[in-house]
Amino acid sequence: MNSRQITRRVGKSGVVTSAVGLGTWAIGGWMWGGTDEAESIAAIQASIDAGVSLIDTAPAYGLGRSEEIVGKAIKGRRDRAVIATKCGLNWHSKKGNHFFDQDGKPVNRYLGADGIAHEVEQSLRRLGTDYIDLYITHWQDPTTPIAETMEALERLKSAGKIRAIGASNLNTAELQQYVGAGQLDAIQERYSMLDREIEQTLLPIARQHQVAALSYSSLALGLLSGAIDPAREFSGDDQRKSNPRFSQANRRKVAVLKHALAPVAEVHQASMAQIVIAWTLAQPGITFALCGARSAAQARDNARAGEISLSAAELAAVDAAVAVHLVAIDA
């Protein structure tokens, strides 16, 4: 691993990985206007070669497509990758609660022991590996007691199929149940300069129980990257096409913020995206920042953020700029 990359431990587990992680939702194509496999593989491999060992994926990203692409990309690099994938959104049974339809298939939230046992084998096959470093419940299933889910995950851990346990998209009551039912090593939640609610809800509980926190949408679906021109148009099934956050007015606000952050960026010879990611990693309770990339260039740019440490004065300057320029951004 690149020695300049900040590394951190996943909760109480023995898993240590890069603080910056590669999120592969977009690589699955679904809700992102399709995917280019060769370019996606190049992005993953560029991340690993730049010292970003944490690669986050899920079966639901393209109904297995993202996991398959990750599997191809890590071939020959498995020992340099820390793979996080998920369970609980499945299309192989009718158990649990219907959540959404994808490609004409109903996808249910289900975290029963039988569902988890089936899903882990499918993920291992698609990823081309015999173990998963961090296995995360993707969305919570109200039809299955959390204690049953944790028992199933602990069995997988004892069997050596997973190394650490995580949970995503939780409320505080569910998090309390998880930490009461076994060793929860991580939570994965939406967090960015625009999404800070968990600072008051989940993060205090996580810190109390030594549970790591992975932020997803750290760049707010790319809005905070500073790379999306106000005039850009989104096509196909790209979710940003109808997202009010991506209005031209909001993109203009981000462009002004980019200018305000320029002095900090210049000190570190960094892009706006790199400063935003470094800021995210400096927030109390945030252990890892997941950032999407669909090209090798984007992957290398994100990786560079894992080498930046912002001073207290720089963090204060960024906070002040955010308070002025990101007000009234649509949710």
Give SS3 for 7: strand
Q: Residue 131 catalytic?
A: no
CA dist 271 and 61 (Å) reads 28
Q: Which amino acid is at 248?
A: Q
Please, where are the H alpha helices in the chain?
37-49, 65-74, 113-127, 146-158, 172-181, 202-208, 248-268, 272-281, 296-304, 312-325
Query: Taking every pair of C-alpha atoms in the chain, what is the biggest distance, in angstroms?
Result: 55
Going by C-beta distance under 8 Å and a sequence separation of 6 or more, which residues neighbour residue 309?
6, 278, 282
Catalytic residue among 61, 135, 178, 216: 61
CA dist 240 and 223 (Å) reads 9
**Enclosing H/E stretch for 136:** strand 132-137
Catalytic residue positions, numbered: 61
